Amino acid sequence: MNFIFPSWKQLAAGCFLIGIAFSLVSFAYIQHKNIQDNIRFKTHADIIKNDIWALNKSGIKSYLQLAVQANKYRYLAVLLEDDTPFFQVTGPEPTGLDHFLSLLHLLPLEKLSADIVYKNQLIGSLHGEQYVRIFYPLLNIFFFMVLTLLASLFMLYLYYNRRFLEQQVFERTQKHQASERRFHDLVNLLPEMVCETDLQGNLTYANKIALKQLNITKRELLNSSLFAFMVPEQVPHAREKFTNLIQGKEQKLDEYTVRTPDGILFPVLARSAPIYSGDEIIGIRSVIVDITERCSLEEKLHRAKRMEIIGLMAGGVAHDLNNILSGVINYPELILKKLPADSELRGQVKAIKRSGLRAADVVSDLLTVARGVAAPRTVAAPNTMINEYLNSPEFLQLQSLYPNISWKSELDPAVVNISCSPIHVKKSIMNLVINAAEAITDSGRVTISTAVCEQDDPDQQDEVIRRKRWTVINIHDTGPGIAPEDLDHIFDPFYTRKVMGKSGTGLGLTVVWNTVQDHNGEIRVNSDERGTTFSLYFPVTDRNFTPAEPTPDLKTLRGSGEKILVIDDNPQQQDIALQILTSLNYQVSVVSSGEEAVEYLRTRFVHILLLDMLMPPGLNGLQTYKQILTIHPGQKAVIASGFSENDDVRQTLQLGAASFIKKPYVMEQLGRVIYNALH
């Protein structure tokens, strides 16, 4: 206070002036209140004049009681014209704070009176006493004036402290410098690269992540140009963008390929803006995001779409080929049954059948690429599937072809079961093992191993893999590795570096990729000069593994004269099914469409249907089976098709069809599914 009132006399003078101001304001307020009280009292008299004229005491009583309570009157009395008391209402005694103020004589009484005039005739008068509650408003006025005084003092305080602000400016400058240090610390915590350059494009600043990803030090930074970290073909475009920024033109996001001093390339997305000093541009600031992971996901999406397009084409071709191959496979079987055991033709007929089966395997690969094979899922043990392959004739033949290769299996006993199509998983394992053997030019080793990958494994860097719990099948070879330019294409259909016709069709890895995708799995490839490892990740299941029942001998699969209706639009398929099933002691009838089958069964009964799924242009297999079920509820059926829509097959199986058999089938396969469905 000393800076405002240097002496006590000045302080006393200030208080005196405030007291005078308070007195004047209080006096004005009291006068105003007295006027308002008299006006209000006259209003009461005017309101009750009608009841006075009518001598209506009840009306007067109700109003005056309300007036006494609302306006804090001690009493209200009505006198007639001759001053004769007519009616009086007494108010409650003061309570609480009002009572305390009355004891201190701070709640005085004010006498009020008013004439009661009815139609210009004096008919009486209203008298009363009112508690003057002037203390509260005067107290409010006092506090208001005190607050006003304090506000004025505060303004004066600000005025007299301008010199103090100079010191604050100095301190704020220091804080600003500290804020800049904090800014640099925060920028260094960002996962994105942040760089600054001068007007020539020379780097003047880079945060820690930029120094790390560009693989340079702070000392090297000062001697580096931003354009030195770009691939040469993108530098002209980048310089043009840089010039536009210096000229103040707004630029959009740009995608570049960064090249580090040690030759590592990775894609980035950059957004830049000018650095201003006042109104002058002194440099460029850029935020650069490494989009390697995004590009990888985009590549996966493009590959999936590419596979889908190729799959549609392959599926249509495979369906037609399967119908053709049925004759190449099944007719030799029927011929062999009729040929004498010592016939010279048996060797040639068996060769025809083997050729057909090999062709059917290629078609099967095409169907896997098409992802249109309706393969049932069962719970399988990965270690068991691998051991079955290692003991198979196919693997024994592979060993004989590559005697200089050592074979090793490292199967984790703790590996968890998976829900899968065992046929396709085994085919994937076989394809990868064959590729591993063919990758080794002289001598080497092929290792098949299994493992469990736990969810949120801290040692696992792949974010996609860390989200689930997986069973992993690894196939590793010690070959020279896959060339970097080939890695992005190894899963494309018909893409191969092998000798076509000698080492395969170029579908092996495509089959592996589609199989893993169909099982909601992931596939990873690591390859360098020391070898290549393919890792197949399959989601685990908690269900128990149930071993498959042993396959019965063909002699035990013969029928007992049961009636079978073959529904197929292909005459050759009709003849093959008719001859095979007839030879297995079944009574066989044949129709060429779904409509014919429905009409046939309106008046006849068969034990089981052999149902094709695609029979254009009429009813397909699902539609046919639905209509037949309305005639014969619970009708048994087996689905037979070279290619079909998965949804249609699943729906047909859900409706009651016993199983699915893929064309072309051999006699033993058809006999087994029919026998199992009937029994």
Residues 625 and 553: their CA atoms lie apart, in Å, by 30
Nearest to 138 by CA among 1, 31, 213: 31
Nearest to 538 by CA among 468, 437, 439: 468
Nearest to 475 by CA among 442, 451, 443, 500: 451
Whether the Cβ atoms of residue 199 and residue 180 lie closer than 8 Å to each other: no
**Would you mind telling me the total number of residues written for the chain in this entry?**
679
- pLDDT at position 275 is 86
Residues 168 and 162: their CA atoms lie apart, in Å, by 10
User: What tokens does 59 get?
Assistant: 């009306």
Residue carrying structure tokens 């060993």: 399
Dihedral over Cα of 414, 420, 423, 426: its sign: negative
Burial of 408 (0-12, 13-18, 19+ CB in 10 A): exposed
Residues 236 and 250: their CA atoms lie apart, in Å, by 18
Residues 535 and 516: their CA atoms lie apart, in Å, by 10
- HSE-up of residue 225 (Cα within 13 Å, Cβ side): 11
Residues 312 and 643: their CA atoms lie apart, in Å, by 11
The residues, any chain, with a CB within 8 Å of residue 185's CB and separated by 6 or more, are none
Residue 610 amino acid letter: L
Instruction: Specify the DSSP element, H or E, that contains 275.
Output: strand 265-277
ω into 664 cis (within 30 of 0): yes
Residues 621 and 644: their CA atoms lie apart, in Å, by 10
Residues 489 and 510: their CA atoms lie apart, in Å, by 10
Nearest to 402 by CA among 460, 442, 357: 442
Residue 165 amino acid letter: L
CA distance between the termini of the chain: 109
Residues 494 and 509: their CA atoms lie apart, in Å, by 9
Residues 402 and 453: their CA atoms lie apart, in Å, by 32
- pLDDT at position 372 is 45
Whether the Cβ atoms of residue 443 and residue 401 lie closer than 8 Å to each other: no
Taking residue 494's Cβ as centre, other Cβ atoms within 10 Å add up to 11
Q: What is the dihedral of CA 323, 326, 328, 331, to 10 degrees?
A: -140
Hey, which bits of 454-549 come out as E strands? 470-477, 522-528, 531-539
Residues 509 and 32: their CA atoms lie apart, in Å, by 101
- CA 207-269-463 angle, 5° bins: 85
DSSP for 387-450, please give it.
HHHHTSHHHHHHHHH-TTEEEEEE--TTPPPEEE-HHHHHHHHHHHHHHHHHH-SSSEEEEEEE
User: What tokens does 601 get?
Assistant: 């069964």
Residues 562 and 575: their CA atoms lie apart, in Å, by 18
Mean pLDDT, the chain cut into blocks of 10 residues (679 residues total): 57 75 81 85 86 81 85 85 85 79 77 86 87 76 80 76 78 77 74 87 86 83 84 88 84 84 86 85 87 79 69 63 69 76 77 71 61 65 91 88 92 89 86 90 91 73 71 93 81 63 64 83 89 92 68 71 92 87 92 93 94 88 93 92 71 89 83 89
In 531-633, which ranges are continuous DSSP H helix?
A: 571-583, 594-602, 621-631
User: What tokens does 412 get?
Assistant: 């984790």
Taking residue 422's Cβ as centre, other Cβ atoms within 10 Å add up to 20
User: 504 — alpha (psi -120 to 50), left (phi > 0) or beta?
Assistant: left
Residues 360 and 642: their CA atoms lie apart, in Å, by 10
